[in-house]
Amino acid sequence: MKAEEKKQLAREFYTSMYRIRRFEEEVFEFYKRGLMPGLAHLYLGEEAIAAGACAAVEEKDYIGSTHRGHGHLVARGADTKRMMAEILGKATGYSKGKGGSMHIIAMDKGILGANGIVGGEIPIATGAAYAAKYRNSGQVVLCFLGDSASNQGTFHESINMAAAWDLPIVYIIENNSFGISVDIHRVTKEHDLAKRAVGYGIEGVTIDGNDVFKVYETVKRGAERAREGKGPTIVECKTYRWQGHHVGDPAAYRPQGALEEWKKKEPILNLEKLGLLTTEEIQKIKNDIDKEIEEACKFAEESPYADVSEAYTDVFSD
């Protein structure tokens, strides 16, 4: 990779990761103020995975998301105003406030929807990959899932099907160590989850999920293989979530000092340390994003709730 190309990517990655960081911080503030219904599962600390992976695919491709899905939409270029409005349950949101945080969707960006069921997105994304192959559309699907979702039946059933039919899909395991309060290391014998790919005869690789360039390069290779008809890849990204399972979870089950150690190698700081961006460039990115997120919050707060007459629209299909 040429120096100028790497610098340009660094700028894009930093912008994407900082936008995710600021968006999630403001979602947390809305929750603390009692302005958002339900709970939010924040992506803080995992920003490099969404930023690197979404940059590695084409605009026509699809994204399967999880209950911790805000970062995927932001990295994909979804409208932060409509996203924030959706999270607050407002009529100007992506689903007119009916989906909220855990079911946020952005079909205009190929996002097939966040999902409140652990592992629920895996067969949906696999189906989209089957459709892409059937239509010979040249599209690839990225399917994000958590470490605990890899122990669901949907994981094994879907990947077996994708492997058998060489479907164009990359399964990205965001291994942040915990499924709610359960440490993945206590419930699996093999801690590198990508090694499961061997059993399906497909490619599998485990990487540092806090290294945005590593994520980008690995997912890009997987996407290229998929587009060439060589079937699926499992990419396991080792990372760590800063918050508990959701915004109301104090995460008392985590080992003492673990969060502090992970914060020393967090993705935004990692990128800054590479020295590809000047202090002035970084500050400009931050200023621009801060203004964007401030406007998104204002838009969401000032937007109206949907009228009660809207309760059954966009729910059923004839």
pLDDT digits (tens, 9 = 90+) for 273-304: 999 999 999 999 999 999 999 999 999 999 99
Confidence check: pLDDT of 318 > 80? no
CATH 3.30.10.20 for domain 3-306:
no
Q: Which tokens is 39 given?
A: 């709970």
Predicted pLDDT at 65 = 97
C-beta of residue 26 within 8 angstroms of C-beta of residue 81: no
Pairing of strands 141-146, 233-238: unpaired
22: burial class by Cβ within 10 Å (0-12, 13-18, 19+)? Answer: buried
**283 contacts: CB under 8 Å, gap ≥ 6:** none
With a cut of 80, say whether residue 317 has pLDDT above it.
Answer: no
SS3 92: coil
Between CA 312 and CA 318, with CA 316 as vertex, the angle to 5 degrees is 130
Exposed e or buried b for every residue in 88-109, given b needs 16+ CB within 10 A? bbbebbbbbbbbbbbbbbbeeb
Can you tell me the distance from the alpha carbon of 119 to that of 149, in angstroms, rounded to the nearest whole number? 5
What does the pLDDT look like over 84-105, one tens digit per residue? 999 999 999 999 999 999 999 9
User: pLDDT digit string (tens) for 20-53?
Assistant: 999 999 999 999 999 999 999 999 999 999 999 9
SS3 assignment, position 283 = helix
Per-residue pLDDT tens digits for 162-212:
999 999 999 999 999 999 999 999 999 999 999 999 999 999 999 999 999
* pTM of the predicted model as reported, rounded to 2 decimal places: 0.96
Domain range summary for the chain, segments of one domain joined by +: 3-306
Of 316 and 78, the structure prediction assigns the larger pLDDT to 78
| Residue 51, phi then psi, degrees to nearest 5 | -65, -45
pLDDT of residue 85: 98
Average pLDDT value for residue range 250-272: 95
Task: Judge whether residue 228 has pLDDT over 80.
Answer: yes
Question: Is the predicted pLDDT of residue 315 greater than 90, yes or no?
Answer: no
Q: Name the 3-class secondary structure at 234.
A: strand
Mean of the pLDDT values across residues 54-77?
A: 98
Number of continuous H segments (helices) and E segments (strands) in the chain: 11, 7
